[in-house]
Amino acid sequence: MPLRTLALLSALALPVAAHAADRECARSPGGVIEVCAWVDGDQAWYDVHRKGAVVLAPSKLGLTFAGEPQARYTALDEAKRTTSDSTWEQPWGEQRVIRDNHTEFSFRLTGDTTLNKAVGVTFRLFDDGIGFRYDYADIPAGQAVAVTAERTQFHTVGAYQAWWYQALGQERDEYLYTQTDARRVTLAETPLTLKGDNGLYLSFHEAAMVDFPSMLLSGNGEGTLTAWLMPWPDGTLAKKTGPFTTPWRTVLIGETPADLADSRIELNLNEPSKIPDIGKWFKPGKYVGVWWEMHLDKTTWGSGMRHGATTENIKRYIDFAARYGFDGVLAEGWNLGWDGDWINNGDKFSFTRSYPDFDIAAITGYAKSRGVEFIGHNETGGGVVNYENQLDDAMKFYQRYGVRLVKTGYVRHAGDIIDREGKGEWFAGQFMVRHNLLVAETAARYHIAIDAHEPVKDTGLRRTWPNMVSREGARGQEYNAWGNPTNPPEHLTILPFTRMLGGPMDFTPGIFDLAHGKDDVTRRVQSTLATQLAEYVVLYSPIQMAADLPENYEKNLAAFQFIRDVPTDWETSRTLQSEIGDYVVVARQQRGGPDWYLGAITDENARTLQQPLTFLAPGRRYEAQIYRDGPGADYRVDPLAFETARQIVTAQDVLTLNLAPGGGAAIRFKALN
């Protein structure tokens, strides 16, 4: 390596303490992960080893600012290592108690430009991955700066497969994943998940994305991924004033897909809750709503003869919710602005004025009398300025009527969110990242929780803002109504190891009328009935919809029982066995109770899985209430073949799960005395 030799030689000639190629290293608490950092050839570098084997080869660090050349880094010093082992509790979540056991490794880079003169870099090393961020603490208060490049790299070595889709497509994050050689990644969204020939699973993402653009990853054809930040319309990446820290760049590293899914690094890297009283006004739960019927085009969001969100129709859903123990009823299309081309007229939406056949006082009064809550909806059509102008009024309006959960929406092509200057913003550039937080902060003041569709991606911010309860941000069930084409079975076996690594998803599970009048399988829901039940366990969200029409549930109350029983808040969660794109089995223990629930989903292939029940409490007997594919079940020809069974089991048993093509299984393990 001539460059390195040169650097060493010149370092020898300099009378400085930390010469060019001095490496500073740190290990994770269990010694599994090692990170080293150094300066060499004008660049700042880091690398990552796991159990002595290289995971990331030398990869660059640093940011570049407008008005300055790319900084040459000349020294790394002030290296510090501290350890920290603590636990904290989530107010709601997939796991109540979370352990945060890490080594913090920080140092200072000296660069040759004004803004890069002193850059703090902080790594946190966990046994299952790392996070690191930059701290530009020396920028004087009040000074405006503009980030024009992020140099951060992730230099993978060896052969990897990746699950990804081309970023910046017009449908934002609503694409099917393809699996390719990771070297073919051009520009990918995160979480970006890789599987190596070396047996390792990696996932690249970020945590605590606050007031900074969303990071995509750009591939160089040779295994190096470089941070690519979603720009402002003027090409600037991030606009900051005074000292700032960036979001954490994260890499999960494990030996199984489960190691990724069960990692809590994302949450651990976010700040503690700013809403200590959230438990008093938000409770996880299940909801139904005037929703699927619009997607099936039985009723409309807009006004007229087929208007869906009428007082009468909503009361029908409230009755259904009350009868079967649901917590909430959503209605979309109640407010003025839906008539005509609402996607291009998002700036016309009113968030406080309703169509005449919708009476919010009557609806919320009736809901209350039946022990159900009305769930609000604010579709913006990407008219973000219009929404911000009404935001306080919108939240005030809902609060007046006792609404505590609001679904938002940003249906608009990816780069067409119009800002105050009339310019098109990316759906997750700094402008929208700011908007996302503004909505959550404003909603929190009114004791309202947010479920964002077409959202900025989730980076674990729910720890800090636990009223950000769920979001969409992937191809959800709605695509199974539209059918151009619908989601193939393997989609559900990829999501848990890609999109779901960011956080909860409002997938809207539970369609029972899988064909919904269509013959062509690519226009129907491509799963069996049992799979629709398994979704409630596999795809975590603290709010889960029973998305189908009430009459379809009433035709199959035996299957519906699982949806009625399944909790949406968990003591703990475990991914039991899986292969990305093939199958997944997840078990979760109910929070505040002894029961366990299991969801298993396969792709288009039938599969028999042996599942040890070692997760159950030792010595305890459970009644396994099994909801599974029946004889002949097949998502293509007989998706409704379905059966239930009961069996007494203990932790010592092994269950055989026979999954049909596109099939699944859902099990409640009811603890017996």
Query: Based on CB atoms, which residue is closest to ligand NOJ, 479 or 570?
Result: 479
Q: Which amino acid is at 493?
A: T
286 binds, among ligand NOJ, Ca ion, none (CB under 5 to 8 A by kind): none
Name the minimum Å distance from CB 427 to Ca ion.
Answer: 11
Query: Based on CB atoms, which residue is closest to Ca ion, 286 or 453?
Result: 453
Please tell me the distance from the alpha carbon of residue 23 to that of residue 39, in angstroms, as a whole number. Answer: 8
Name the minimum Å distance from CB 414 to Ca ion.
Answer: 12
259 binds, among Ca ion, ligand NOJ, none (CB under 5 to 8 A by kind): none
C-beta separation of 275 from 462 below 8 A: no
What DSSP string describes 228-263?
EEPPPTTS--EEEESSEEPPEEEEEEESSHHHHHT-
Name the minimum Å distance from CB 174 to ligand NOJ.
Answer: 8
332 binds, among Ca ion, ligand NOJ, none (CB under 5 to 8 A by kind): ligand NOJ
Sequence-distant (≥ 6) Cβ neighbours of residue 150 within 8 angstroms: 62, 63, 64, 215, 226, 227, 228, 229, 237, 246
What DSSP string describes 506-552?
------S-SSTT--SGGGS--S-HHHHHHHHHHS--SEEE--S-HHH
Secondary structure in 3-state letters for 297-325: CCCECCCCCCECCCHHHHHHHHHHHHHHC
Query: Based on CB atoms, which residue is closest to Ca ion, 499 or 574?
Result: 499
Query: Based on CB atoms, which residue is closest to ligand NOJ, 177 or 342?
Result: 342
Query: Based on CB atoms, which residue is closest to Ca ion, 359 or 454?
Result: 454
Name the minimum Å distance from CB 380 to ligand NOJ.
Answer: 9
Name the minimum Å distance from CB 410 to ligand NOJ.
Answer: 8
Name the minimum Å distance from CB 39 to ligand NOJ.
Answer: 47
Q: At CA 401, angle to CA 395 and CA 405, rounded to 5?
A: 55
Report the DSSP beta bridge partners of residue 166.
188
Name the minimum Å distance from CB 478 to Ca ion.
Answer: 6
Name the minimum Å distance from CB 377 to ligand NOJ.
Answer: 7
- Binding track over 421-460 against Ca ion, x by CB under 5 A: --------------------------------x-------
Helix (H) or strand (E) holding 176: none
**Has 174 been annotated as catalytic?**
no
Helix (H) or strand (E) holding 468: strand 468-471
User: Which tokens is 465 given?
Assistant: 């803002």
Q: Which residues bind ligand NOJ (CB under 6 A)?
A: 291, 332, 379, 409, 411, 453, 472, 478
379 binds, among ligand NOJ, Ca ion, none (CB under 5 to 8 A by kind): ligand NOJ
Please tell me the distance from the alpha carbon of residue 337 to that of residue 573, in angstroms, as a whole number. Answer: 42
Sequence-distant (≥ 6) Cβ neighbours of residue 551 within 8 angstroms: none
Q: Which amino acid is at 44?
A: A
Percent helix, strand, coil in the chain, to 5, is 20, 35, 45
Query: Based on CB atoms, which residue is closest to ligand NOJ, 150 or 379?
Result: 379
CA dist list (Å): 177 to 174, 234, 498: 9, 30, 9
For residue 191, is the peptide bond before it cis, meaning its omega torsion is within 30 degrees of 0? yes
Name the minimum Å distance from CB 454 to Ca ion.
Answer: 5
Q: Is 81 helix (H, G, I), strand (E, B) or coil?
A: strand
Residue ranges in 522-541 that form contacts with Ca ion under rule CB under 5 A: none
Report the length, in residues, of the chain: 673
479 binds, among Ca ion, ligand NOJ, none (CB under 5 to 8 A by kind): none
Please tell me the distance from the alpha carbon of residue 307 to that of residue 329, in angstroms, as a whole number. Answer: 17
Query: Based on CB atoms, which residue is closest to ligand NOJ, 150 or 478?
Result: 478
Count the Cβ atoms, other than its own, within 10 Å of residue 25. Answer: 15
Name the minimum Å distance from CB 488 to Ca ion.
Answer: 18
CA dist list (Å): 117 to 138, 244, 633: 8, 14, 65
The b-or-e profile of 635-666 (16+ CB within 10 A means b, else e) is beebbbbbeeeeeebebeeebebbbbbbbbbb
Query: Based on CB atoms, which residue is closest to Ca ion, 307 or 453?
Result: 453
CA dist list (Å): 155 to 121, 204, 395, 426, 475: 18, 12, 45, 27, 29
Name the minimum Å distance from CB 472 to Ca ion.
Answer: 5
Strands (DSSP E) along 291-428, which ranges?
A: 328-331, 373-379, 405-409, 417-418, 424-425
Residue reference for tokens 């350890």: 83
Please tell me the distance from the alpha carbon of residue 344 to that of residue 607, in angstroms, as a whole number. Answer: 46
C-beta separation of 162 from 179 below 8 A: yes
Count the Cβ atoms, other than its own, within 10 Å of residue 54. Answer: 16
Q: Which of 454, 478, 490, 571 is catalytic?
A: 478
Query: Based on CB atoms, which residue is closest to Ca ion, 35 or 539?
Result: 539
Query: Based on CB atoms, which residue is closest to Ca ion, 50 or 453?
Result: 453
CA dist list (Å): 347 to 337, 344, 382, 411, 426: 9, 8, 8, 12, 17
Query: Based on CB atoms, which residue is closest to Ca ion, 455 or 567?
Result: 455
List residues near Ca ion by CB under 5 A: 453
Q: Known catalytic residues?
A: 478
